[in-house]
């Protein structure tokens, strides 16, 4: 068995590159990050690297949207909501931004591994 070490931030549910079934575990995990309709596209199933790239695009876009919404929330919501509701929404945006940042890192690591990049720990 030729198993590669995994870098910090590697998704727990994805087996290490080179281990038996690692690509299938990566595929399943990637599909769990996108809308269920994506499973209709057999080309993504056949080519997990293509799936990883698309998941990265989706994650990056979602992170941009969350950041943009956060930056405009006070002004855009001020006429419609009480300040405490806006603060609550800002906290939710911040939480989602943090989650998406972690996910973006994980997706990039999986995409790199599917591209043949192997992480080597530094001593």
Return mean pLDDT, the chain. Answer: 94
- The number of residues in the chain equals 123
SS3 82: coil
Residues 96-107: pLDDT tens digits? Answer: 999 999 999 999
pLDDT tens-digit readout, 27-80: 999 999 999 999 999 999 999 999 999 999 999 999 999 999 999 999 999 999
pLDDT at 122: 83
Sign of CA dihedral 18, 22, 27, 33: negative
Picking from 118, 117, 116, 114, the residue whose alpha carbon sits closest to that of residue 54 is: 114
Those residues with Cβ within 8 angstroms of residue 27's Cβ, 6 or more apart along the chain or in another chain: 45, 48, 51
**pLDDT at res. 5:** 83
pLDDT in tens, 3-29: 678 999 999 999 999 999 999 999 999
Q: What's the confidence (pLDDT) of residue 2?
A: 53
Q: Tokens 């990637």 correspond to what residue?
A: 30
pTM over 0.85: yes
| Structure confidence at residue 111 (pLDDT) | 98
pLDDT of residue 3: 64
Residue 75, pLDDT score: 95
CA-wise closest residue to 66 among 101, 32, 109? 101
Give one DSSP letter per residue of 2-65, joined into a string: -PPP--TT--TTSPPTTSTTHHHHHHHHHHTTS-GGGGG-HHHHH-HHHHHHHHHHHHHHHHHH
């Amino acid at each position: 068995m030729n198993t590669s070490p995994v870098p910090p931030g590697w998704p727990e549910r994805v087996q290490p590159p080179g281990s038996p079934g690692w690509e299938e575990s990566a595929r399943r995990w990637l599909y769990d990050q996108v809308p269920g309709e994506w499973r209709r596209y057999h080309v993504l199933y056949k080519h997990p690297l293509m799936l990883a790239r698309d998941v990265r695009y989706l994650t990056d876009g979602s992170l941009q949207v969350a950041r943009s919404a956060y930056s405009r929330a006070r002004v855009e919501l001020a006429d419609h909501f009480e300040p405490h509701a806006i603060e609550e929404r800002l906290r939710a945006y911040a939480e989602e931004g943090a989650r998406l940042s972690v996910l973006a890192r994980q997706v990039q690591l999986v995409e790199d591994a599917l591209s043949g990049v192997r992480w080597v720990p530094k001593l």
